[in-house]
Chains A and B, each alone.
Chain A
Amino acid sequence: MFISYLLLFIGLFFWIWGTLPILNKRNTILYKLHTLTVSDTVGSALILIALIIRNSTHWPVLFICLITLTLWNTIFGYLLGNLTEK
């Protein structure tokens, strides 16, 4: 239970840390994409792992959430990075 709370709070910290630089106008768009990888992919994955530890009866659905979230976030990161080259 302690590990679950620890992972939840680390994930929440990653979310906040990664999302706030979007508002800063000095950062380049590619740097924002890097911070969004921290928050969206790694932070969400940590929160989902914490939820699996907390309530292990729902692990199949949460596991599918984990896989699809990392897939979508990574591919959208690549897509937006590719658009900056056009």
Chain B
Amino acid sequence: MNATIFIRYLSQIFFRLIIWCLLTSNFKLNNIIIGIFFSTILPKVRLPSIKIRFIFIELIKTIAAFPSAVKESILLILMKKRTETFVYKKSSVAEDGSQFVNFLDLFRITLTPLTLVTKREDNNNWRVHVIEEGKR
């Protein structure tokens, strides 16, 4: 039990350290030491209590959405006739589930140009605006 809490704490420190190094654009040893100092004195944030592997899979899916965004934008440019409809799409977790996974799910759908989340319909579904090829 204690080991998972420690791993979570370490990942939080590591995430802050990466942001620090990117912002200062300096990866030298003394700058990394300053970054570790700042990331440990910043207040602790309550982390979501779900499995790390689940978050990892969701992150991989989100990164995979970037190439499909380029593909869908080319499809949208080449589209001659289009229809606009609303569909209901199942979300990966319920509304009262992890906020972070909900955010990633929303981000993934809205990032691709053919789909756009407008609101949460009920506990398990998003209301998604979709552009499809077909008669106007």
Contact = CB atoms under 8 A, between A and B. Distances in A.
Interface stretch (B34-42, B51-59, B87-95, B113-121): B113-121
B84 A30 contact: yes
B76 A64 contact: no
Chain B contact-residue range equals: 20 to 34
A28 interface: yes
A63 B25 CA distance: 10
A24 interface: no
A37 B110 contact: yes
Contact of B73 (A14, A60, A82, A84): A14
A64 B111 contact: no
A60 B23 contact: yes
A83 to B, nearest CB: 9
A38 B23 contact: no
Contacts of B69: 37, 41-42
A64 B116 contact: no
Contacts of A38: 73, 76-77, 113
Contact of B111 (A58, A59, A70): A70
B111 A17 contact: no
A30 B84 CA distance: 9
B77 A84 contact: no
18 contacts: A30-B116, A30-B129, A31-B84, A33-B116, A34-B76, A35-B76, A37-B69, A37-B110, A37-B116, A38-B77, A41-B111, A41-B113, A60-B23, A61-B23, A74-B107, A75-B107, A78-B106, A84-B118
A64 B82 CA distance: 35
B118 A34 contact: no
Contacts of B116: 30, 33-34, 37, 77-78, 81
Given A30-B129, A74-B110, A85 B22 contact: no
A54 to B, nearest CB: 16
Nearest to B107: A74
Nearest to A30: B129
Contacts of A46: 70
